[in-house]
Amino acid sequence: MLGLTLAACGEDNGDNGEEPDDADVEDTDTDTDDDADEDADADADDADEDGDEDGEAAGDGGTVTLGIIPSWTDGLSLAYLWEAILEDEGYEVEIEEINDAAPLYTGVANGDIHVYPSAWPEVTHADYMEQYGDDLEDLGAYYEGAVLTLAVPEYTEIDSLEELADNADMFNGQVVGIEPGSGHMGVTADSVFPEYGLDDEFTLADSSTAAMLTELDNAINAEEDIVVTLWRPFWAYGEWDLKDLEDPEGALGEPETLNFIANSEFSSDFPEVADWMGEFELTDDEYAELEDLVVNEYEDDPEAGARAWMDNNSDLIEEIMD
C-alpha cells in the first residue's frame, strides 16, 4: 500500500528545451545560415502542428499529477476516480504514490504534485496547512463529517478512552498506530495521550496503515483485545466489527471535511479542472460505494472500480461538468 520513497515527479510544461547559445555558433556562411533558418522554421511549423494535435489530445490541459498515500483509501479512491474523469475529458493524469503526509504536502507546495485529492486540512493536517499555506490552494470540500478515532473490536469490554489507562494490560500497553507523519499520530500523542493519562501506561507504536490492519486482523481472528488508530470514512469498518472508543473530552478533534488541496498555481494553470473539483461533493452512501468498488471489488484494477462507480453515478459527473 505504501510507496517507500518520494517519487520523482516533475511537472511537464511542454517546454523542456533550451534556447541555443548564439555565442557558440560561428557565423561563416550567410547562405548556409539562411538555409538553416528556413529548415528551422519548417521544423518549427511541423512541431507546432504536432503540438496542436497533442494539445487537442490532452484536452488543451496537459498532464495533471495527483498525489496520494495509497494506504489511505480515501485518497486512493478519489485519485482513481479523477484519473478516469479527467482522461475522459482529454487530460493525461499521473498518480504519484508517496509514503507519508509530510513529503506529500511538500510535493504539492513546491509544484511537483498538482493536487492532493483527499486532504484533511482542518484538524488532522492543520500543521501542514499552516506550514505551507502560502503555497497551497483549497479547491473545496467533497465530504463532510470525517473524524479521527481510536477503535477496538466490538467484543472488547471497554467503551471509552477514559477507561484505557486502567486497562493497559488488556492491550499490552500499546496503541497500534500508522504512519508517523500522518497527523493522526500527532493528535493521538499530543492530545489524546495527555488528556486521558496514557503517557505512563501506553506506548504509541509507529507503523503503517497496512501493518496496523494486519495486526487488527490477527487480533480479531484470535479474539484478542487491540486498540488502533482509525478514522471515518474508512472501509475497515465494513470489514470488521469495530467500535470507536468514546471521546468525552474531544481530544481527537471535531469532525472535519475532506478537501482537494492544490498547489497555489493550480487554478491558474488548470482553471477548468479546479472548477470541476470545487463543485464535486459526495454523500456517505456515494463515498462508501466508491471506496468499496475501488478498494475491494476491483482491488486489482482500481480504475475499473472508479469507472464502475461513474457508470452508477453518471448524473453526478454530468452535473459538475455543466
Binning the chain into helix, strand and coil, the percentages to the nearest 5 are 45, 20, 35
Residue 101 CA to residue 157 CA, distance in Å, equals 33
Q: Domain end: 218, 244, 270, which one?
A: 244
- H or E segment and range at residue 136: strand 136-153
Interstrand relation of 63-68 and 242-244 (parallel, antiparallel or unpaired): unpaired
Conformation bin of residue 89: beta by default, left when phi > 0, alpha when psi is -120 to 50: alpha
pLDDT of residue 52: 39
In a domain, 232, yes or no: yes
In a domain, 138, yes or no: yes
Interstrand relation of 203-205 and 174-176 (parallel, antiparallel or unpaired): parallel
**Residue position matching grid coordinates 503555497:** 135
Residue 117 CA to residue 258 CA, distance in Å, equals 8
CB 7 within 8 A of CB 107: no
- Is 280 found in the same domain as 140? yes
pLDDT of residue 322: 80
In a domain, 278, yes or no: yes
pLDDT one digit per residue (tens) for the chain, 322 residues: 333 223 333 333 333 333 333 333 333 343 444 444 444 444 444 434 443 343 334 456 699 999 999 889 999 999 999 999 999 999 999 999 998 999 999 999 999 999 999 999 999 999 999 999 999 999 999 999 999 999 999 999 999 999 999 999 999 999 999 999 889 999 999 999 999 999 999 999 999 999 999 999 999 999 999 999 999 989 888 889 999 999 999 999 999 999 999 999 999 999 999 999 999 999 988 998 999 999 989 999 999 999 999 999 999 999 998 8
In a domain, 80, yes or no: yes
In a domain, 101, yes or no: yes
Alpha-carbon distance values, 73 to 1, 17, 57, 240, 286 (Å): 9, 38, 30, 16, 15
Max CA pair span of the chain? 92
pLDDT of residue 24: 38
Structure-derived torsion over alpha carbons of residues 94, 1, 102, 265, reported in degrees to the nearest 10: 20
In a domain, 10, yes or no: no
Q: What string of H, E and C letters represents the secondary structure of 179-242?
A: CCCCCHHHHHHHHHHHHCCCCCCCEEECCCHHHHHHHHHHHHHCCCCCCEEEEECCCHHHHCCE
- Is 296 found in the same domain as 151? no
pLDDT of residue 28: 34
Query: Containing domain of residue 93, as a range?
Result: 63-144+256-321
Sign of the torsion angle spanned by Cα atoms 264, 269, 107, 110? negative
Residue 124: give its domain's CATH number.
3.40.190.10
**Phi and psi dihedrals of 208, rounded to 5?**
-135, 160
pLDDT of residue 61: 64
- The number of folded domains in the chain is 2
pTM: predicted TM-score of the whole model, two decimal places: 0.72
- Is 274 found in the same domain as 140? yes
pLDDT of residue 239: 87
- Is 138 found in the same domain as 285? yes
Residue 149 CA to residue 252 CA, distance in Å, equals 7
